[in-house]
């Protein structure tokens, strides 16, 4: 006679429940991964913006403190840093700031220039305030005027 062997196996219902549970776990893992990637992109954009602002602030600070005269020309929208050794030209455009041939930033909203604590539209300056539209942040840089700068305001003797 034939002896029937019963094999241990899963029923069709158990297999379907296993597949459904696996799909739920994979779906949750995918949603967590996509959320993490989205957050990483936001963090990367913020880091890029912060780095650009920091580099702009550093370069302006270096130029302010290494050049004796700083003049803003309103017609050409040029910020000129000059010393007996070197001259640096910043072009201030609507969407970017160009230093000689380097593009530094494209996010500024407004710029204000000061000389002796008073806001000026053009001419010699000793301080600058830059407002950025993408962030609620300002950069304010200044230099201490030497006697020559004070006597030769606007680059010419009065």
pLDDT at 158: 41
Interval 101-139: pLDDT, tens: 777 666 677 888 898 888 888 888 888 988 877 677 888
Other C-beta atoms within 10 Å of 22: how many?
A: 10
Alpha carbon distance 15, 130 (integer Å): 65
Give the confidence band of 150 by pLDDT, cuts at 50, 70, 90: low
Stretch 55-84: mean pLDDT, rounded? 86
pLDDT at 83: 84
Q: Kindly tell me if the per-residue pLDDT of 42 is higher than 70.
A: yes
Would you say residue 66 has pLDDT above 90? no
pLDDT of residue 68 exceeding 90: no
Chain-centre distance of CA 83, in angstroms? Answer: 29
Degrees (nearest 5) of the Cα angle 131, 136, 140? 40
Sheet with strand 78-82: strands edge to edge = 102-105, 97-99, 87-92, 78-82, 69-73, 123-124
DSSP bridge pairs for 81: 70, 88
Mean pLDDT for the chain overall: 83
* Among 15, 3, 114, CA closest to 64: 114
Structure tokens at 129: 């305030």
Domain boundaries, the chain: 14-155
155: nearest Cα among 67, 90, 95, 91: 67
């Amino acid at each position: 006679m034939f002896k029937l062997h019963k094999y241990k196996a899963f029923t069709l219902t158990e297999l379907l429940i296993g597949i459904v549970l696996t799909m739920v776990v994979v779906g949750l893992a995918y949603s967590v991964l996509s959320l993490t990637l989205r957050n990483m992109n936001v963090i990367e954009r913020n880091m890029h913006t912060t780095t650009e602002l920091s580099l702009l602030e550093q370069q302006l600070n270096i130029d302010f403190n290494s050049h004796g005269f700083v003049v803003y020309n309103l017609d050409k929208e040029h910020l000129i840093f000059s010393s007996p050794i070197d001259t640096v030209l910043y072009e201030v455009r609507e969407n970017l700031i160009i230093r000689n041939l380097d593009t530094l930033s494209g996010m500024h909203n407004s710029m204000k220039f000061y000389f002796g604590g008073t806001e000026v539209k053009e001419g010699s300056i000793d301080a600058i305030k830059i407002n950025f539209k993408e962030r609620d942040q300002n950069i304010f840089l200044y230099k201490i005027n030497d006697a020559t700068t004070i006597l030769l305001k606007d680059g010419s003797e009065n």
